[in-house]
Amino acid sequence: MFALLLFAVVFAVTAGAGLVGSDSNRNIDERFSAHKVGRLLSFSAFDQQRTRPEESHQRKLRNDKNITITEADKGKAAVIMDTPDFHDLVNKTLSDTSTYKILPKDPTAKLERQHKKTLKTLHDSNQINDTVIINLVSSCSQTSYFTWQNNIYQQIHGLPMGSPLSPLITEIFMTIFEESALSTSPFQPLCWYRKVDDTFTILDPNHNPAELLDHLNKQHARIQFTMEVEAQHKLPFLDVSLDNSSERIVPTVYRLSSTNKARHSLHPSQTCQSHL
């Protein structure tokens, strides 16, 4: 029988604030259950038809200056935070000078000139080579800036969250990272299957999982892994529970216990809790 492991990769800092909201003690009509409030705030449901009571409650929530409603860093969901807590979290994130810096002025005009020059050069040469592709990708991924409390910030490390290029570049980077890390590993996993930032791994029972975890966490200062080992021959991976009690791994639907309320991970500039 083999040992089942789950590794969750944690980027020390990513673009944007991955916010996890605390419970808000606002007075919401008792007729609206938790899932209806979620529907009211869902970022993917703006264009859905709503009843008048729903629209009324949505306006009240949006207009409440004591709370801040923002999009979650994962999934099409909304997060509610007390506004002072939200401001404190953002300010703490932006205080990391190795990732963000304040710009002296709005860079939009300068960036527009640079982009036009790049596109004109591309048009005049009428060819695309490796250098051109690298320059275009760099132009899109390294010019991320935003405003917060009358300051203009530029992200100087990592990829901008929400950019359509970011998942692709991240996947390329992580593939290279994994190939390099596993090629120098003290032993080779029997399997290594990653989905975004969760990796399902099978090890020979004679190998020490902590040794592999320690090796992975020495590869990059900003990328750290957490690990979960199978318990009672079971290990959840994504939405599947994997049973390792027989000669073959048997998958079943994974259902989160109603008593477990801490199943989440905080990505940017916060200590990450192992999810699943």
The pLDDT value given to residue 2:
64
Kindly tell me the sign of the dihedral angle through the C-alpha atoms of 73, 270, 203, 237: negative
Q: Which element (helix H / strand E) includes 209?
A: helix 209-216
The pLDDT value given to residue 46:
46
The pLDDT value given to residue 76:
62
> Got the DSSP string for 46-60?
TTS---HHHHHHHHH
Chain-centroid distance of CA 171 in Å reads: 13
The pLDDT value given to residue 127:
80
Cα angle vertex 70, ends 67, 74, to 5°? 140
- Residue 182 included in any domain: yes
Strand partners, 11: 223
Instruction: Check whether residue 168 and residue 249 sit in a common domain.
Output: yes
The pLDDT value given to residue 177:
93
User: How far is 144 from 153, CA to CA, in rounded Å?
Assistant: 9
- Residue 269 included in any domain: no
Instruction: Check whether residue 174 and residue 223 sit in a common domain.
Output: yes
Which domain does 46 fall in, by range? 34-94
> Which one-letter amino acid corresponds to residue 25?
N
The pLDDT value given to residue 69:
80
- Residue 271 included in any domain: no
Intra-chain end-to-end CA distance of the chain, in Å: 22
Question: How many domains would you assign to the chain?
Answer: 3
Instruction: Check whether residue 73 and residue 131 sit in a common domain.
Output: no
pLDDT along the chain (276 residues), means of 10: 64 33 34 39 51 76 83 69 89 90 92 86 83 83 86 88 85 92 93 87 89 93 88 85 85 67 32 29
Note whether 276 and 27 are within 8 A (CB): no
